[in-house]
Structure 1
Amino acid sequence: MSLTLTDYPLRPSTGTVGKKIQIRSNFFEVQSFMNGNVYHYDVSIGDDKAPPALRRKIWKAFEDNEGQALLNGVNSVYDGRKNVYAFQVLKPLGTDTNTRKEFRVELQGKDYKVSIKYAAQINMQELQNFLNKKSALTPNILTAVMAMDIMIRQMPAMTYPANLGRSFYTPQEKRSLPHGVEVWQGFYQSARPGVGKMFINVDVSATCFYESGPLPEVVARFLGRNSLDDLRRGITDRDRNKLEKFLRNVEVETSHRGEKKRKYKIHKLTPSTPDKTKFKTDDGRELTITQYFQQQYNLRLKYPFLPCVATRKDQYFPMEILFVVPGQRYIKKLDDKQTADMIKFTCQKPHIRSNKIQQGFTLMKYKENPLLQKFGMKIKPEMQMINARVLPAPAISYHNSSKQGTFTPHGGAWNLRDKKVAHGATLKSWSIVNFAHNLPKPVIERFIRQMSETFIATGMNVVNRNPPIMNANPQGNIQQSIYDAYMAAGRAAKVDPQLILCILPSKTVALYAEIKRISDTVMGLPTQCVQSSHVNQAKPQYCANVCLKVNVKLGGFNVQMSPQQIPFVSERPTIIFGADVTHPSAGDMNKPSIAAVTASMDPRAARYACRTRVQPNRMEQIQDLAGMVKELLITFYRAAGQKPERILFYRDGVSEGQFAMVLNEEVSQIQRACASLDKEYKPKITFVVVQKRHHARFFPVKPADADKSQNCPPGTVVDTDIVHPFEFDFYLQSHAGLQGTSRPTHYHVLYDQNKFTPDSLQELTYRLCYIYNRATRAVSLVPAVYYAHLLAFRARFHRKGEDWSDSLGTSESLDTEQQLASYAPVKASLNSVMYYM
């Protein structure tokens, strides 16, 4: 039976460990849906470039007029793209997949072609069988879930024009962000199979739009000016280029012809102002834009100092007659200030978020929806109550000489007071490079004294407490500055340098990126960057946090667990892998993606080695996984003196649609890597996908079951109701919430030769979250994957000649080979320490 149900492991049972609590989750139970057939039709409307909102209008016009004979009162739903679902057969088409009928539809004076043909019949009973563990997931069932998704989406899609995928947004709740962007709140909804039932998952979501309004005002805000008067002296070439990038393809509406508003897309900006931008009229005269608008429309320009806008059709407009159309999504990368403001807007305490979700549910009007009634679909108006469990916190250990060296943390967090790191490194040879010109030497010396004292108190051995200090120009030759500091450290301590501490003047990315590129790929030496503001204050708490990072960069580790608590790792030689692929920001189709793999090196799972590779843009599969795994297995063998008998591989960044690809490709690459070391070497492999990008949220029911942030407590695990009907997956919220509503992590087992029980995998995963080397709290996802994230993020800096000052992202014309070659590999000496911390 298991072979026919799924290619992935079945859930052996549900877990039993932990304190039972009741929680609410943002899943609404579908109490009933029709058992009969739904008929799927393939439809094409106009040209394929028409946006979904326009296609919906065309389909509506078709339903109301030409389509009446075809539909003949049969209810249908349309997804805005290619699919129409009807509750009865459309008789004129029958069920012949070769018969296609074409119609012409008129909408707002334009003619559109609508063509439609039968595609398939969906048996809804089959979906019920899947939910009841009686049927595998077939294409038919996937289509049934999709049809349900489209049914619940149709009304909001017609009511709210700004809808993207499974979310729709309303300008009722919005907030301006810096630089001409605003964030709108919206709601997400999706039909999700659960155990024995379908659910509708409803969540609050938010996304960014271009600010609407008069174009000159948007320009002033984008350039960070208080008012348009600040631009009277004109715009610099650099600002104009940035502005052009920001505005390219933005839709604007003209306002100079009264009711006759026309829409255009911005193509570029002119280098000149309206009184210097000339064009030829139809009768051959040469006029400036200013003269033309004065003569044609009797319009005197108020802002003649702004550039003109050019559209694709080579028409020129002064900015002041243009209005940015609302509801245009902004997909470029946000800068730091925009990101911080966006987080403030979206960060909501659990009870506020759950109320908002309930409001969203009401907005969707499921009960009043005639389509859902025809479909026999009833949705329970309350969030699903779930029996969850809270796993017990593990005991963690610092050095024996610490006061209370082994203890069980309470509430998922603890502090380092009177604690010494589990294994302290020795710091002999180091130096300081000061890039902040406003810091006097005595202030730096005081900071180094405080830093050395904290390092020693926290269990490191600092041999040289007076390292050489050098000043450097942040705009100068960074490579030379770091090389000079390297030589100075070696001369002062008469041994090879181990660390360079860099003091940065501000949080600019460019200097940090260049320091890391040089230290990681040219020098092969760990660096530790600190902000000048922290040097000024020299707080012990800050120094202790820096100590945690420096200790692991030098090969130490900070916290561990007794072997009895992680028997899977300690009883037999076992290696834990974490893997992630990160892609360049949306819209950048040139830069490579980066694959990062980390692997534990000891029976405590405290030390990790790592490898990175660049690979073609947006490639999700890890291209050279076999090579990376092979190198890390050799590193493990050198560190531990034996081959791992078991492999536990946590893989991040994979969506459900990619499970099969990842399982087939990546598990076989791991097996190939083992075989390449020795044909007989076949360790047992367990492969788990880790997902953070989902919309499941948990809310405690009783105040006694909530932590300080009003979230569910760390260790909350869910493996019933809202999980997969029969595959081995679970949600684990392993961290204590700081602000907002915590997001649990979803773990899904795709391959398991180690025969984990739900309890053993859930407990191991949760306990590992307590031994993350950079924090004194349990983290939200298993550390091996967390490290892979940090590693992939760091690898972006290993590229020569990158312009980090441009947050709008540059799209260069280098070909793929040149792009891949522009990243330098990390020096081998760093691959066995956690240099990216």
Structure 2
Amino acid sequence: MADRGRGGRGGGRGGFQQQGFPSRGRADGGRGGFRGGFGGDRGRGGPRGGGFGGNRASAAPELFRQDGQIHPPRQDIQRLEDTTLKQDLTTRLQSLNIKSEAPLRPAYGIKGQHITLWANYFELLPSKNQAFNRYAIDLLPKGKGDEPKGKKRVRLVQLLLAQLPKNIAIASDYKSTILAASTLGFTNKEFLITYYPETEAGPGKNPPKYRARVQHTGTLTFETLLNYLSSTNLTQEKPAVKEEIIQATNIVLGHGMKSNSKIMTKRNKYFPEEGNLVEKWMLGHGLEAFRGFFMSVRAATGRILLNVQVQHIAVWEAIPLVSLFDKMVADRMSWTEINRAISGLWVHVTHLNKRLKRIGGLASPAEARRGQNAPQVPTFGANANQVKFWKDSVQPARYVSVAGHFKQEWKALNQPNAPVVNVGTRSVPVYLPSELCHVKKQQDYDKKLPPDATAAMIGGRNGGAVRFAPENARTISGNGISLLKQNSEKILNNFGVKIDTRMITVSARVLNGVPLSYSGKIQQPRDAGWNMRDIKFSKGAQMPAWSYVWVRTQQNSGSFRNMQEVAQTVNAFHVMLGTCGIQTTKPLPGKELRLNNPQDPDTEIDKFFSSVKGVRLLLVILPFQSTQIYNAVKRAADVKYGVHTVDVVGDRRKFAKAVEGGDNSQYFANVALKFNLKLGGHNQLLRPADLGFVSEGKTMLVGLDVTHPAPGSSESAPSVSSITASINAQLAQWPADVKIQTGRKEMIEGLKDMFKTRLQLWQKHNQQKLPEEIIVYRDGVGETMYDLVRTIELPQMKEACKEIYPATATKADKPYITIIICGKRHNTRFYPTSEQEADQRTGGTKNGTIVDRGVTEAREWDFYLQAHTALQGTPKSAHYVVVHDEIFRRRAAAIKSNDGRNAGQRAADELEALTHAMCYCFGRATKAISLAPPAYYADLICDRARRWLSRVFDERTVVSSEDGGEARPEDVQIHPNLRDTMFYI
């Protein structure tokens, strides 16, 4: 459901007064919101996202202008792109081996209105013959010990570079590689490094020493790569050094910024902390936001480009830990929330010469239950007077308080009522008073931001992270280029690389919106959205026996005052279900569920579901947005009891709006969308003309995804893989399956068996016929993993088909399979060059925008598609990469057409048009979404499985939380009652 997040608040809080310990407030820790590294969403809708529509703002921001000029896309690059792909697709297919490498781009698409856009790329102009002399670094202690890692390794490389010749341009990634503009005069040499921290002027007594071996591993030049990118020979083999040259250029690019202590570096993201380029604002909770830039080198047809994108990050303030606690308490965080937030935080211990320690969490009674002479911790987050440990070094051996220990061994604490933190483990705790800890600088916050911090991140004093597209473009061409020039331009020039500081333009196209078919009516979208006024679902489901439950807590009942008001609202909702076309029956009498422990509601919710008899669908009315309650409901309903559930929030702004005389029709219509899908209905359909050959009913669409444990999850937390697939030509129903697999493993384990279940379900709905073609949209794969999808996952799909299809089909290489990698975790953005091409609300690109040239490579088949309308911020296209194709090029080559397009253009247009059209048939919304529905649905079922496994997936501390236990396959086994339905919507 959309309304997930946190519940109501508890009692008031105070600071760390000497008079007594502050009130604890609530301890639910339920959170929603973004993580510390801020990214865009997947085209979330606004008011017109469902139901009966909304309004659009009229004022548009001023568009981006670069020096008042718009230079057209480079014509020589466009000619090179066209020349490279001029060979007819039919001729190329004659020698095609569909089982081998990734498919070559058949052609560039031509459908749509042709426009020009800015792209957040800048040209790099390298000297072909300039050498990159590459050296490998090996670091080991002089004597026994492990290879240094992390910040220590960075510092050691800094000290090593200081010993190299000063008259040679040198760059490093500060890990394993040194690049030199000319040879260093040796091929293999060992250096002795005396370590001391950057904060100190020189080594102290008995400093640690390390041996650094520097070995020459080769010489790189741009010539080979530039010749490849400029070649019109489509089948020319990609040079083995391509990625090495790109990596080397990235190292040189980033060296200057990584060498600047006033720039916070997170991989290839750079955030100025001091100087005239700093943009930051406070988030509350001891956090602050910084604006910076992602910078990365990429290859494109005929040139090498630098991608620069605005980035935002939430980081901890470098302040005393007691001050951090003060801020958190003032911002009404519970101690459970504080404990979760500080887990993993690095602090300088001020009484030990700023030694670094990592906080496990607050002192917890959980540590007091472990063996003889266990610590004594009376309450969660206890202070230095309250926490006691067994001390053998005193006579007689006895329990002493943390405050008493420090008074005896060091000096009396100034703030003994401040909480104690554990910098050890749960089994071997090490307690420190928080007044002796200072938060280390440049630590990003890697957990979910509190809702108010999320709001501050989005709309902060400096404009926030979500800004109109032209503002981001101006920031990139302004501060972004200034950061580059101040820190990287000189060293790039020393390596023979110049930067064209003008943002490039590219040719793009805009596809028209796609009409939707409802029961007896065609809806024409406006700005990729539409409403359901006077519209019925294309196919209304038959409502089974259903009921509702009003969930309450001791402190919070939502906006409803009694069951009579609940019943009246549910009856009004029941009328709306009929209006939308669902063949409904009146609900059975509802029940009230009063939770005594909303922070851990599983037992009470399980007991309730065990009492539910004769009901197949349950409307669950929550008192507030609560992750804990929501997860418990879904665990019980989806896995254990097999009951469809739709969760709503009984708030005056949501489901309970009519209690105070408001119009609930829009919220009711949104909920009705979910009811109909869960019960097997069809909400909106695409016209056969827009579906193309998929409308023939011989093509199955499949979505695949893998999601991984977040930082802070249990070490035993698995990854979750999912599959969803269409069951017929309507693309209205997408049942799914999900499994757990090895944690953080990218490739799907057991895909063959999952794939077979989708084929068997297709048979069930198509008179035992199997699909002749299968189009797979695979989400969750990084660029470096594309080949693995083809070499590891494709064979599993083929094996599944071999076991299901008759031998005559598989011998003929049927069914035909195409695999498309899709995702939005990229940093490419586009900006309009004229008012006519801009969205009038945001100044961003319009829905239907597609880019397949200018920032791509001619030989690789990929494109960027923005199907949705972004209601705020900069529109983010989805990126689609074809890694295997047995369908589109074959079909296009076989068709005789007189529309003026060649076979390659037909193949490109057909894939782009199908992908675009499908974004309009996502059943849970009345707007186009930003990612192809097969992948989006697969993402949703992964998210549902994470909720079933929240005890191992939750961000938790190793000190205060009880172990979530190992995840078991049966924990994500969908109940048979729901298995072949869209229960996860």
Alignment TM-score > 0.5, same fold? yes
Partner of residue 472 from structure 1, selected from 568, 589, 593: 593
Taking a change above 3 Å as real, the CA distance of residues 416 and 45 of structure 1, as seen in their structure-2 partners, is same
In structure 1, C-alpha distance between the alignment counterparts of 2:749 and 2:643, rounded to whole Å: 28
Aligned match of 1:235: none
Q: Following the alignment from structure 1 to structure 2, what is the Cα–Cα distance between the partners of residues 771 and 503? A: 28
> What SS does the corresponding residue of 2:279 show, helix, strand or coil?
strand
Q: 1:634 aligns with which of 747, 760, 763?
A: 760
Letter aligned with residue 704 of structure 1: Q
Aligned to 2:110: 16
Distance in 2, matches of 1:49 and 1:250, equals: 23
Q: Secondary structure at the match of 1:434?
A: strand
Q: Measure the CA separation in 2 of the matches of 1:499 and 1:290.
A: 57
User: Residues 702 and 724 of structure 2 are in contact (CA less than 8 Å); yes or no, is this contact kept in structure 1?
Assistant: yes
Instruction: Pick closer, same or farther for the CA change 1:763–1:320 going to 2, 3 Å.
Output: same
Question: CA shift at 1:511, angstroms?
Answer: 1.5
Structure 1 residues 154 and 654, CA gap change in structure 2 (3 angstroms): same
Structure 1 residue 453: Cα displacement? 1.6
Q: How does 1:347-426 map to 2 (within 5 A)?
A: 347-358=466-477, 359-365=479-485, 369-400=489-520, 405-426=521-542
Q: CA deviation at 1:182?
A: 3.3
State the partner residue of 2:192: 103
d(CA) in 1 for partners of 2:533 and 2:752?
Answer: 43
Whether the aligned pair in 1 keeps the contact of 2:264 and 2:271 (CA below 8 Å) is yes
Whole-Å Cα distance in 2 between the matches of residues 762 and 522 of structure 1?
41
Are the counterparts in 1 of residues 753 and 800 from structure 2 also a CA contact under 8 Å?
yes
Q: In the aligned structure 1, how far is the partner of 2:738 from the partner of 2:960?
A: 23
Distance in 1 between residues matched to 2:337 and 2:517, nearest whole Å:
52
In the alignment, the residues of structure 1 paired with residue 959 and residue 525 of structure 2 have an alpha-carbon distance, to the nearest angstrom, of 43
Kept in 1, the 8 Å contact 2:717–2:952? The answer is no
Aligned AA for 1:67? L
Stretch of structure 1 that moved more, 343-352 or 750-759: 343-352
**Counterpart in the other structure of 1:88:** 182
Change (3 A) 1:594 1:282: closer
| In 2, Cα distance between equivalents of 1:520 and 1:679 | 37
Contact 2:340 2:956 in 1 (8 A): no
* Shift of residue 263, structure 1, vs aligned partner: 4.7
Q: In 2 relative to 1, CA 300–754 (structure 1 residues): closer, same or farther, beyond 3 Å?
A: same
Is 1:831 the counterpart of 2:943? The answer is no
Q: Provide the rounded CA distance (Å) in 2 between the counterparts of 1:319 and 1:330.
A: 19
User: Distance in 1 between the 2:423 and 2:606 partners?
Assistant: 45
Is it true that 1:586 corresponds to 2:711 in the alignment? yes
Distance (Å, rounded) in 2 between the aligned partners of 1:331 and 1:126: 40
Within the candidate set 790, 794, 816, 1:663 is matched to: 790
Aligned counterpart for 1:43 among listed residues 115, 130, 137: 137
Q: What's 1:484 paired with?
A: 611
Shift of 1:15: 0.8
**Counterpart of 1:96?**
none
Structure 1 residue 179: deviation in Å?
3.7
Task: Report the residue type matching 2:228 in the other structure.
Answer: F
CA contact (8 A) 1:663 1:751 kept: yes
Q: Paired residue for 2:894?
A: none
Structure 2: distance between partners of 1:416 and 1:396: 11
The one-letter code matched in structure 2 to 1:527 is T
Partner of residue 440, structure 2? 325
Q: 1:766: Cα distance to partner?
A: 0.3
Deviates more, 1:180-189 or 1:795-804: 795-804
Q: For the structure 1 residues 50 and 205, does the alpha-carbon distance in structure 2 shift closer, same or farther, using more than 3 Å as the test?
A: farther
Task: Show CA shifts across 1:236-268 (max 9, x none).
Answer: xx93x76555445533335579xx655544466
Displacement of 1:653 in angstroms is 0.5
In the TM superposition, residue 591 of structure 1 has moved relative to its aligned partner by 1.0
Whole-angstrom CA distance in 1 between matches of 2:950 and 2:711: 21
Aligned equivalent of 1:147, options 245, 248, 262: 248
Pairing 1:524-673 to 2, within 5 Å after superposition: 524-533=642-651, 534-538=654-658, 539-588=664-713, 589-641=715-767, 642-673=769-800
Identity %: 28
Matched residue SS, 2:302: coil
CA distance in 2, matches of 1:498, 1:314: 49
Deviations 1:62-111 (CA, angstroms, capped at 9, x unpaired): 344x323xxx7332211110011122233222xxxxx4433335643044
**Please, which runs of 5 or more residues in structure 2 have no aligned partner?**
1-91, 197-201, 364-376, 597-602, 659-663, 890-906
Deviations 1:372-430 (A, max 9, x none): 11222111112111111001222211110xxxx11331211111111111111121411
Q: Structure 2 residue aligned with 1:114, among 195, 203, 212?
A: 212
Q: Provide the secondary structure at the position in 2 that maps to 1:514.
A: helix
Secondary structure of 2:968 counterpart: helix
Give the letter for the 1:509 counterpart.
Answer: T
Deviation per residue, 1:660-703 (Å, 9 max, x gap):
11111111111111110132332111110002100001111111
1:767 aligns with 2:886: no
SS of residue in 2 equivalent to 1:578: strand
Equivalent pair of 1:734/1:769 in contact (CA under 8 Å): yes
- Which residue identity is paired with 1:690? C
SS in 2 for 1:501: strand
Is the partner of 2:485 in helix, strand or coil?
coil
Which residue of structure 2 lines up, in the alignment, with residue 429 of structure 1? 545
Asked if the contact 1:349/1:741 (under 8 Å) is kept, the reply is yes
Contact 1:798 1:825 in 2 (8 A): no
SS in 2 for 1:747: strand
The 5-angstrom pairing of residues 451-530 of structure 1 reads 451-462=573-584, 464-475=585-596, 477-485=604-612, 487=613, 490=614, 497-530=615-648
Shift, 1:370, TM fit: 2.5
Q: 1:100 to 1:247 in 2, by over 3 A?
A: same
Helix, strand or coil at the partner of 2:887: coil
SS at match of 1:468: coil
Aligned residue type for 1:778: A
Shift of 1:738: 1.1
CA contact (8 A) 2:489 2:499 kept: no
State the alpha-carbon separation in 2 of the partners of residues 811 and 119 from structure 1: 48
Return the alpha-carbon distance in structure 2 between the equivalents of residues 293 and 177 of structure 1: 34
CA distance in 2, matches of 1:225, 1:383: 42
CA distance in 2, matches of 1:4, 1:550: 46
Matched, 1:680 2:817: no
Q: Is the Cα–Cα contact under 8 Å of residues 78 and 150 in structure 1 kept in the other structure? A: yes
Deviation readout 1:618-663 (Å, 9 max, x if unpaired): 1111111111111111111111222111111000000111111111
- Residue 601 of structure 1 deviates from its aligned partner by 1.1
Q: How does 1:54-69 map to 2 (within 5 A)?
A: 54-64=152-162, 66-68=163-165
| Unaligned stretches of 5+ residues in structure 1 | 94-98, 228-237, 491-496
Hey, what's the Cα distance between the residues in 2 that align with 1:670 and 1:386? 37
Contact (CA 8 Å) 2:421, 2:432: kept in 1 or not? Answer: yes
Q: Contact 2:361 / 2:960 at 8 angstroms: preserved in 1?
A: no
Partner of 2:258: 157
CA distance in 2, matches of 1:248, 1:430: 43
Aligned to 1:493: none
Following TM superposition, by how much is the alpha carbon of 1:608 offset from its aligned partner in structure 2, in angstroms? 1.5
The counterpart of 1:28, out of the listed 122, 126, 129, is 122
- Say whether the 8 Å CA contact 2:738–2:972 is kept in structure 1: no
Cα displacement string for residues 194-246 of structure 1 (whole angstroms, at most 9, x for unaligned residues):
1111110011112232232121121233345569xxxxxxxxxx93x765554
SS at 1:712 equivalent: coil
Q: Any idea what SS the aligned residue of 2:574 has?
A: helix
What is the Cα deviation at residue 800 of structure 1?
8.8
Number of aligned residue pairs: 798
Q: In structure 1, how many angstroms separate the alpha carbons of the residues matched to 2:298 and 2:960?
A: 38
Aligned to 2:415: 303
CA contact (8 A) 1:307 1:319 kept: yes
- 2:892 is aligned to none
Distance in 2 between the 1:517 and 1:291 partners? 47
Mark the CA change 1:212 to 1:15 in structure 2 (over 3 Å): closer, same or farther.
same
In structure 1, the residue matched to 2:897 is: none
Structure 2 counterpart SS, 1:427: coil
Please name the residue that 2:303 is paired with.
197
* Matching residue's letter, 1:549: K
For structure 1, which segment, 104-113 or 350-359, has the greater mean C-alpha deviation from structure 2 after superposition?
A: 104-113
1:216 aligns with 2:322: yes
